[in-house]
Structure 1
């Protein structure tokens, strides 16, 4: 079974959240930070579970652009320069419906690694 395709995609710039709306009335808001740390790119996920790289310091990341890739995915362009990996409709829906569990797992990974969501130094946004 494939995931539904959103009928509405909207980025709330102030809140730094991507909203996905579906035909059945369901709506999900995913923070840019959450999307960044769960990027489907090889740079983040590696080429297997043991090569994934824990993303730290992404608390203030935002999106600077969103482009649709065919009929199956979005490419998210983050303001920290990261723009690899395609977010398929299936992957976005999975991130949306499992957000609480995935976020809790991410926070646990950070704690286990003694790492933080806070960036090192002063967060600067490219102009």
Structure 2
């Protein structure tokens, strides 16, 4: 699993000044449903889920325990870990390391409307490239 607000692996790098965010979770390929639950629990216990404004969850691909008809489902795992938090959750979004591989920029303001099933970038993901003059001085 990868999120737009953390590095890979269980160590989470959440920007310290960030008051709210939208973790984008890409389960990638391989692994097991228990890994998804564990990563979400790390986010919960570290306080990240108390500071987010919404969550986007990718399409599970080749994850043991999440096959069609399996229980619990990915939606059940996510909602269980979120508890009673009243935040929008958008699931089965094709982005990340598997499938269509739609990149999700890190640190860009985004809008999430779960009712309309939309995720919008509210600012550019890239900016103009800085050029430098002699000896690395900006022009």
Q: Structure 1 length as normaliser, TM-score?
A: 0.26
Greater percentage in helix: 1
Larger Rg: 2
Q: Structure 2 length as normaliser, TM-score?
A: 0.25
